[in-house]
Chain A
């Protein structure tokens, strides 16, 4: 068996999963399963949110150890699903190692939804969350305008190196400002609290919250703690952004609208 290719495959699988937003313990589990197909004695994996370490060894061969630093993190659940399928097939021996490696490489390049659908879904998301929270149709309509702003800001800042929580903060400032301005100038029975929180829902750190909980349950306090901080910081910046937006408008108008 080609052990070099095996560790590369395991590392690639782990990297794709971690970057796409999988739970840390799941990444470790998948990588161990792939490494165990070698039948060697020593298969160690150690995954943190910012890096992956793995070792494959036995008395018969020299130990192979790889380290991979993970810098970017996006959310793409389809990639987790695809990697899961490949690793299942590999562990059932229904595909060869070379095939698995090629398939993983293809996953890394695949792009699922196009940008128009992505943007439409952000707008739709903002609007639908307002309905979910008990908003009226007028709230829903204004929330979709807010959703449009979110999509626009995401598009404009896509090529820049701005961190995602700064983007979220800018979005929430804009949302709060426009919402409170529209409520102030048009008396059409808008529920401001539902409008603002519904519009901001797509920004909330759902992945970080869920993964923090599940990593901590696994006893993986390092990753769980890191994710919990990520969720908290992200939520706090959105909250701060809403606060800044509301405050700015009340300053402009001369106080007293809140």
Chain B
């Protein structure tokens, strides 16, 4: 599990570089991504369905990104875009296509449904944290 979290850390930092995140924030961005992925791994190893664990992971990532943005006085985009990337359902996308070509409509429909749910959950998590932080925002 720790290896996977390290993978998340390195992956997010590499993507952050290609997105042009300034050098001094790379470690922060990596931490956000790694912690989010850790939450997902812990929750799914406890037997929660993937949609639920993704929701809580996204919630953690959004919370951390907003906190860093407030502390470091940066736009929240810097951490949110890069941190959320590991959660984007790449495997789900592959499964949809794979079962489409192998002509298994049932499984491809199942994965399509699941991928859409995960995307919706990520959106919901970002909504919630954005709204919570809006309460503290000065006019």
A and B part of one assembly: yes
Stretch of A4-12, A31-39, A44-52, A122-130 that contacts chain B: A122-130
Query: Which residues of A come within 8 Å of B, CB atoms?
Result: 20-23, 26, 75-81, 84, 88, 112-113, 117-118, 121-122, 124-125, 128-134, 193-194, 196-198, 200-202, 204, 206-207, 209-211, 213-214, 217, 235, 238-240, 242-243, 246-247, 258
**Secondary structure type dominating chain B contacts:** helix
Q: Which chain B residues lie closer than 8 Å to A88 at the CB level?
A: 73
- Chain B residue nearest to A129 (CB atoms) is B11
Contact B94 A196 (CB under 8 A): yes
Which among B9, B37, B98, B126 has the greatest number of chain A C-beta atoms within 10 A? B98
Q: Which chain A residues lie closer than 8 Å to B3 at the CB level?
A: 131
| Chain A proximity of B120: nearest CB distance (Å) | 10
Contact A26 B77 (CB under 8 A): yes
Contact B7 A193 (CB under 8 A): no
A20–B77 Cα distance when bound, in Å, is: 11
**Secondary structure type dominating chain A contacts:** helix
B107 at interface, CB cutoff 8 A? no
Q: Return 11 A-B CB contacts under 8 Å, by A number.
A: A26-B77, A76-B20, A80-B77, A81-B25, A125-B15, A133-B90, A196-B94, A197-B90, A201-B85, A209-B122, A239-B94
Which among A80, A117, A194 has the greatest number of chain B C-beta atoms within 10 A? A80
Q: Which chain A residues lie closer than 8 Å to B13 at the CB level?
A: 121
A113–B16 Cα distance when bound, in Å, is: 11
Interface size class of B (residues with CB under 8 A): 35 or more
A242–B11 Cα distance when bound, in Å, is: 21
B80 at interface, CB cutoff 8 A? yes
A240–B126 Cα distance when bound, in Å, is: 28
- Chain B residue nearest to A132 (CB atoms) is B7
Q: Which chain B residues lie closer than 8 Å to A196 at the CB level?
A: 94
| Chain B proximity of A83: nearest CB distance (Å) | 9
- Of B4, B84, B101, which one neighbours A243 at CB under 8 angstroms? B101
B43 at interface, CB cutoff 8 A? no
Q: Which chain A residues lie closer than 8 Å to B50 at the CB level?
A: none
User: Which 3 A-B pairs rank lowest in CB-CB distance, beginning with the nearest?
Assistant: A131-B7, A128-B11, A125-B14
| Chain B proximity of A46: nearest CB distance (Å) | 21
**With contacts A206-B15, A213-B123 known, is A246 near B98, CB below 8 A?**
yes
- Chain A residue nearest to B34 (CB atoms) is A132
Contact B8 A132 (CB under 8 A): yes
